[in-house]
Amino acid sequence: MRRLIVNADDLGSGSERDRGIIQSFSDGIVSSASLLANGPSFASAAAAARQIDLPLGVHLNLSEGVPLCGPIAGLTTDGGEFPGKTGLRRYLVGKEVDPAPLYRELAAQIEKVLTAGLIPDHLDTHQHFSLFPVATTLLIDLARKYTIPALRLPVPVEPALDDPAGELGADLALYRRLAPAFAAQIRGSGLATPDGLLGMPLLNWLNQETLLATLRSLPEGTWELMVHPGYPDNTSPFSGAARHTELLALTASVSAVTLQRCGITPISFRELTCGF
């Protein structure tokens, strides 16, 4: 049996990204999305998701934009903004991380999604910060508090030998180093997860060729494929040309045909947790 969640990250990061994600769900193989509660287009994205009953989770974020609860000592910049990927990672490996303000901020992000009339079916994290031990514990506690039954399992499925060079390769090496301890803690929590995550090495490289190759080589089991479709938007760092390439691949008829021919059942986290 092969089951696949195709999850589009960063819903709420901008109108053009949102438009592409909605189209990839309505006309393509995307079956799920993750919503940024502090994203600039949160309100319109939440309304669009409600209208089409888009299955979604909360894309918890501690690296981009402005916190909902105000500055966090040691983490946010002098201007009160999150510090970016590198700044967040430096903070999370510090010796004196106070989890209380992080918990308040992440809880506020979940509550904003709930207040918008949406019922999230999973939690995941921007830049996979959940892999850091202090954040893993927070993620489990929040999932239990808000009765959210599933989490992303950011354990790369693709072999390490195929990892690209450069910054993405360094990121993947970090993820692979942190993933075993994370997976053991999550699986011991009783929360539901897929068996692993596809698409991490394909960031900015997912196109028709790589998408079809991924689908055709899908192992047996239940997996998540992380994607980032959208339309280009020069005003947003989330919306480069690679987003449109993904959109075209995810909405191409050959992608849906390949899913069917490979015996892959498309699901969302809702089906993953049915009866949980």
Q: Domains in the chain: how many in total?
A: 1
Q: Which residue has the tokens 């850091």?
A: 132
Residuewise pLDDT in 10s, the chain (276 residues): 999 999 999 999 999 999 999 999 999 999 999 999 999 999 999 999 999 999 999 999 999 999 999 999 999 999 999 999 999 999 999 878 999 999 999 999 999 999 999 999 999 999 999 999 999 999 999 999 999 999 999 999 999 998 999 999 999 999 999 999 999 999 999 999 999 999 999 999 999 999 999 999 999 999 999 999 999 988 887 788 999 999 999 999 999 999 999 999 999 999 987 544
Its pTM stands at 0.96
The confidence score (pLDDT) of residue 237 equals 74
Q: Kindly list the distances between the CA atom of residue 104 and the CA atoms of 60, 111, 244, in Å, as whole numbers in the listed order.
A: 12, 10, 35
Range of the domain at 160: 2-272
- What's the CATH number where 62 sits? 3.20.20.370
The confidence score (pLDDT) of residue 96 equals 82
Partner residues linked to 28 by β-bridges? none
- Is the CA virtual torsion 72, 76, 82, 84 positive or negative? negative
Region for 263 from its dihedrals, namely left if φ exceeds 0, alpha if ψ lies in -120 to 50, beta otherwise = left
Within the chain, where are the H helices? 15-27, 42-52, 84-92, 99-115, 133-145, 166-187, 208-216, 241-251, 253-261, 269-272
Phi and psi for 124 in degrees, rounded to 5?
A: -140, 175
Please tell me the distance from the alpha carbon of residue 158 to that of residue 218, in angstroms, as a whole number.
10
